[in-house]
Amino acid sequence: MRQRRVAWLAGASILAGLLAMAPPALAKQPDQPVKISSLSGAYLAARVAEVDNDLDSAIAYYKRALAFDTENEQLQQSLMLALIAQGRFEESLPYAEKLKKVPDIERFSRVALAVEAFRKKDYAAAETLLKLSLESDLDRLISSVMTAWAKTGDGDSKDAMSYLEKLKGPEWYQLFTTYHRALIADVAGDTEAADRIFGEVIDNVQAGGAAPETWLRAAEAHARSLAARGEKDKALAVLDKAEGFVSGRVPLIALRARIESGEAVSPLVADPATGSSEILLDLASALNRGGGEPFVRIYLQYALALKPDSDAVLLQLAGVAEQQEKAEEAIALYQRVPADSPLKRAAELQLGLNLADLDRHEEAIAHLKALLDQDPEDMRAYLALGGVYSSTENFRAAADVYDKAVAKLAEPETSNWNIFYQRGIAYERLKEWPKAEPNFRKALELQPDQPQVLNYLGYSWVDMDLNLEEGLDMIRKAVELRPSDGYIVDSLGWAYYKLGRFDEAVTELERAVSLKPDDPILNDHLGDAYWRAGRRLEATFQWSHARDMKPEPDVLAQVQKKLAEGLPPLEGKKAAETPTAPAAPAAEPAPTPVPDKKSELGQPPEKLGATPAAYKVLPGQSLWSIATEVLGSGNRYQEILHLNPQLQGDPGRIVPGQQLILPVVAD
């Protein structure tokens, strides 16, 4: 059984579940001077570099293109956006000034100039700049909240709060506008209004399900405000409520410790500039998902220009860099997290994982061992170090690390399920199943419906012809919980294949490939299923496709052999055809990797306001079961994902009581 290298590191990712979240390190200039001698050549080179996320090279090529056509607005727009996204904010301002009256780009140019006005405390200029002629719902929310902060800077906080209260827009505006009304009241010293409005936000847990990071930031801001006024018990009660919503959030744990010890607590937002930074961070956090990284980067860079030492923004930007597979940039951003930040240790642990992503394994191991020596009780450090060992297939060292972690757990908690899961994988890879199985069972005892564990244990049983029905039920349950996870769906298809149920295997493996079309192993599995189902032409096509994806050498060799010879005949009642020649056995299946650092492609921000029909999630429901019950087909869960960007492409984010938008059901 194989597991991709990236999966081990993703499984050890420290930021996942802990938080949601000055420019990145000094921009790296292209190694070679730009030697392109035509406008079209420079423009095409810039576009290619942009697609490759090589923004420094894109900037150099756009500048070269502008040398041929200095007044070209399209080139100026592209250059300005690339400069902002790369954190070269001051360089972008001259282009923003030139473009501030161009309707199609003012949503970025005028906001950039407004950010600069906030930095100079020129609030009247900021308010003027934020009047846009063309704006989507998202643009209007950003410009309106920033306008309210500009009014606050000019000393008119009551007008600012009234302005936001009267703002009309989609229902999803409410959480953001109410939160910022509370912040404005707090900054203005109107603590009675601040407490009342913060209470409205905290009591609206349903809105928290739609935008959890903003809700948690509101809880933190309120607790800080109360603590600063000496209302310790009320502050801790707010943190209790937040802990009931999401446990283990590092900033809240650190804040609780400060409050309980009587240390001074500073406000989360102290002035109009940090208030404007906050709305940009809030929306970037809500919109951050795979495929939207370039868009999110721009808002995060605006936020960082307004608050250069923001640990939350730095971590968000580092996460985007990871999604774009820019490990060096991520490392530079993690290094910039302030030393006194409660998130500094999480940043250092994540830095170690990025060193491993760069194949700097010895550095990564030394770095993570040093962090573990600093705090031998930190389970995150064991997961990170074990993940690096696993990524190099040193499963004995990984198992030893996890053994030490378990020895530290006198009373394992729900959150410790991953330690046992990873230890189970390490022992399974060492072919020590009697040691592996109890760890998977313990992980499920701590987290009964954890889809990764259900899938891994269920598939392992099926693969070894053990507990076949229970194993298949586990995989089916994992698919129900994560119907958009191509790897888990692949496990179900491959389990059917192993059991000789080839038509069912084809159905599930086709769905797996539709979810992860660029994975060679999944395509190889589908080819095998087609062959056994008697669909040889399609099998050959699928194997050819897998071959062209440049799989690992051992997989490639097996695929090439199958292309030449087909699969060998099956014995007994599983035989479905009579192949022309014997062939090597099929490639081993790939058990589900731990979820990657990347999230799935979501809809553009403008889709946030779609409201065809509302639905309240009931206990025990999944997106698949809702789609089956309401829409008539479980496969329609993807439509629900598209209409609910707060799920960030992850069906596992739904919780009982949450309100979802569903497609209109035809009569």
Instruction: Please report the pLDDT score of residue 432 as a whole number.
Output: 96
Say which range, 14-23, 183-192, 215-224, 300-309, has the weakest mean pLDDT: 14-23
Tell whether the model's pLDDT for residue 211 goes beyond 90.
no
Looking at residue 590, what is its pLDDT?
41
Whole-angstrom Cα distance, residue 519 to residue 521? 6
Cβ contacts of 602 within 8 Å, gap of 6 or more: 287, 289, 290, 291, 292, 641, 642, 645, 648, 649
CATH: 1.20.1580.10, 1.25.40.10, 3.20.20.140, 1.10.260.30. Which one for 449-596? 1.25.40.10
pLDDT band at 549 (very low <50, low <70, confident <90, very high): very high
| C-alpha–C-alpha distance, residues 597 and 429, integer Å | 23
Q: What is the pLDDT of residues 407-425, one digit of tens each?
A: 999 999 998 999 999 999 9
pTM greater than 0.85 (yes/no): no
Question: Is pLDDT at 583 greater than 80 in this prediction?
Answer: no
Question: Given pLDDT bands bounded at 50, 70 and 90, which one contains residue 10?
Answer: very low
Confidence (pLDDT) at 635: 60
Give the whole-angstrom CA distance, residue 100 versus residue 131. 11
What is 88-119 written as a DSSP string?
-HHHHHHHHHHHTT-TTTHHHHHHHHHHHHHH
Average the pLDDT over 602-613 and give the result. 36
pLDDT at 454 exceeding the cut of 90: yes
Q: What is the pLDDT of residues 425-445, one digit of tens each?
A: 999 999 999 999 999 999 999
Give the residues across from 660 on adjacent strands: 615
Distance CA 420, CA 418 (A): 5
Query: pLDDT value at position 328?
Result: 95
Q: 286-328 pLDDT, tens per residue?
A: 888 655 677 899 999 999 999 999 999 999 999 999 988 899 9
Q: How confident is the model at residue 639 (pLDDT cuts 50, 70, 90)?
A: confident
**Structural domain boundaries of the chain?**
171-270, 449-596, 610-662
Instruction: Inform me whether the pLDDT recorded for 105 exceeds 70.
Output: yes
Asked, colleague to colleague, whether 171-270 and 610-662 share their fold, the answer is no
The single-letter code of the amino acid at 540 is T
CATH fold label, 171-270: 1.25.40
Q: Which of 234, 228, 230 is nearest to 186 (CA)?
A: 228
Evaluate whether the domain defined by 610-662 bears CATH number 3.50.50.60: no
What pLDDT, on the 0 to 100 scale, is given for residue 30?
45
Q: Is residue 417 within 8 Å of 552, Cβ to Cβ?
A: no
**The amino acid at 185:** A
**CB 439: neighbour CB atoms within 10 A?**
24
CA distances from 20 to 15, 86, 142, 182, 249 (A): 8, 21, 19, 21, 9
d(C-alpha 207, C-alpha 285), whole Å: 15
User: d(Cα 441, Cα 422) in Å, to the nearest integer?
Assistant: 12
Please report which confidence band the pLDDT of residue 607 belongs to, taking 50, 70 and 90 as the band edges: very low
Locate 133 and state its tokens. 């002629």
Tell me, what's the pLDDT at 638?
A: 67
Evaluate whether 513 touches 526 at the Cβ level (below 8 Å).
Answer: yes
What is the average per-residue pLDDT within 251-269?
A: 94
